[in-house]
Structures are given as structure tokens and as C-alpha cells.
């Protein structure tokens, strides 16, 4: 995350080299994938309790 921020800050002041731009894109894709994975894990653990006290796991659409 810190490297993503470093490159973003640098890009505000100067043009990034092609290698830095590629690194930035790679790091961003990796970050987004980790966020999505964590969100899916959190949503998979959600349990809904209805008015009768019945607990049901939320089914994710395929």
C-alpha cells in the first residue's frame, strides 16, 4: 500500500516512467483483488436472524 501511495504522489509532481506506470497498475490490481477477496469472505460469514430467531446464512448468487 505504501508503494502505491508513493507512486501516486510522485505522479502528481512528475511523469512516471513506463516501468513505474506498469508497477503502479500491477500494485493497484493486486490491491483491488485483495479487497474483493476480503469483502467476499466477510459477506460469506453474514448470518441473518429472522423474527422467529432462525439463523440463516446468506446465499451468494453464482
Q: Is the pLDDT of residue 30 over 70?
A: yes
Determine the average pLDDT of the residues in 41-53.
90
Q: Would the pLDDT of 20 be above 90? A: yes
Distance in angstroms (rounded) separating the CA atoms of residues 58 and 10:
43
Residue 18 CA neighbour count, 13 Å, CB half: 0
User: Does residue 61 have a pLDDT over 80?
Assistant: no
* pLDDT band (50, 70, 90) for residue 56: confident
Report how far Cα 5 is from the mean position of its chain's Cα atoms.
Answer: 15
Mean pLDDT (the chain) is 92
Amino acid at each position: 500500500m505504501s508503494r502505491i501511495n508513493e507512486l501516486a504522489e510522485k505522479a502528481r509532481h512528475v511523469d512516471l516512467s513506463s516501468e513505474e506506470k506498469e508497477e503502479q497498475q500491477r500494485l493497484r490490481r493486486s490491491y483491488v483483488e485483495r479487497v474483493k477477496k476480503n469483502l467476499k469472505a466477510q459477506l460469506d460469514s453474514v448470518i441473518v436472524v429472522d423474527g422467529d430467531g432462525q439463523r440463516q446464512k446468506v446465499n451468494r448468487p453464482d
